[in-house]
Amino acid sequence: MVKSLNQIRNDFPILDQKVNDEDLVYLDNAATTQKPRAVVEALAHYYYTDNANVHRGVHTLAERATADFEAAREKVRAFINARSTTEVLFTRGTTTSLNWIAASYGEKVIGAGDEIVISYMEHHSNLVPWQQLALRKKATLKYIKMTADGHLDMTDAAEQITDKTKIVAIAQVSNVLGVVNPIKALAKLAHEHGAIMVADGAQSLPNMPVDVQELDCDFLAFSGHKMLGPTGIGVLYGKEAILNEMPPIEFGGEMIDFVDLFQSSWKELPWKFEAGTPDISGAIGLGAAIDYLSAIGMANVQAHEQELVNYVLPKLLAIDDLTVYGPHDPAQHTGVIAFNLNGLHPHDLATGLDMEGVAVRAGHHCAQPLMKYLKVPATARASFYLYNTKADADRLVDAIVATKEFFKHGTV
């Protein structure tokens, strides 16, 4: 890395605090990441010096705000290697982005008897919009099965995707199982049958290099807050030819070209989809987050996370009565690790870990069909990121053991 791990940690003041009289170990990064000083300072700079609406003003503040806003769009384009900024739409996050695809492209192309193919491991954001679209259009929603260790079953994928399939929508990285799905191979399968490929990048963009041209996905959705950026800002990437054919979802200011009493026309891409005042500060903050990640290098971010998984996963697997979901081979597992302790509800486990200063998530992780598939009501989940250390990993293991002993004997 360009910076040492200690230097990186110093960029995140929130990590330097105690929780329940213990030094904080933050392992809820799959839900939201912490923000470095550079991102917070970018937000403050905008509000202190450049706060104005974008695109419509000719005064100096408006021009500076517009320049910074559109510069952030270019940073996103370069980060994912899109061909043009016309393919980069700012949204509220992954959920909004996926809903836009369903509400615009999906409404246009899906009819009775058509198929939409997803998997059992999808986050609700990449399940419910397609479920509801299928119900509205009398289409068929199909699920790709998983292998025993939690990978997508590509043999079943080849059977599920047929000439009736119009949309394939899959998470590039599972937010529970920690597996990386083969988006490029799925896109090839989809395109062979005349379907389009939608990739949910919420868990991949923060953690690994992603090149939309290399993947050949037709859409990619992701959120700023999971990759060091502010909450409330996200991106929808779409191939320009497809976006040009899609009708806008929202109407109002910013996205119009000309409005008459009974007809209107829309701006060109990307602005025809961005109705109203956008999240200007959010886009600028996302741009600052991309600068921070790019300076470290996404390959380095991924390598650091893999080093932590290689270190901690065998330690977790060695704990008696602890079930770890997803692959048990560290080389096949990202920094998202879901687990359960036999006889203890995940919420109680997470509460016990919090008493040790270790922040994890517990629940169904917006993946209830996956929980049903796994035959569990919920799991605990630890998720590592670029500022986590092997000492953090050890604290997690020790806290699980301490919690286990407490609930077994009533003392730590």
Tokens of 282: 């959010």
Q: What is the DSSP letter of 171?
A: E
Q: What pLDDT, on the 0 to 100 scale, is given for residue 412?
A: 45
Q: What is the pLDDT of residues 212-264, one digit of tens each?
A: 999 999 999 999 999 999 999 999 999 999 999 999 999 998 888 899 999 99
Q: What is the pLDDT of residues 48-85, one digit of tens each?
A: 999 999 998 899 999 999 999 999 999 999 999 999 99
CA 221 – CA 202 distance, rounded (Å): 7
Q: What pLDDT, on the 0 to 100 scale, is given for residue 255?
A: 87
CA 65 – CA 137 distance, rounded (Å): 42
Query: Catalytic residue at 217?
Result: no
Within 10 A of 191 (CB to CB), how many other CB atoms are there? Answer: 14
CA 51 – CA 53 distance, rounded (Å): 7
Kindly name the residue from 19, 242, 366, 376 that is annotated as catalytic.
366
CA 260 – CA 239 distance, rounded (Å): 30
- Kindly list the structural domains of the chain, giving each domain's residue range(s) and its CATH number in brackets, ordered by start: 41-295 (3.40.640.10), 297-409 (3.90.1150.10)
Tokens of 326: 């997803």
CA 172 – CA 197 distance, rounded (Å): 11
| Closest by Cα among 397, 306, 330 to 360 | 397
Locus of tokens 């040790």: 356
* Higher-pLDDT residue of 357, 407: 357
Confidence of residue 410 (pLDDT cuts 50, 70, 90): low
Tokens of 258: 């000309």
Rounded to 5 degrees, what are φ and ψ at 162?
-130, -175
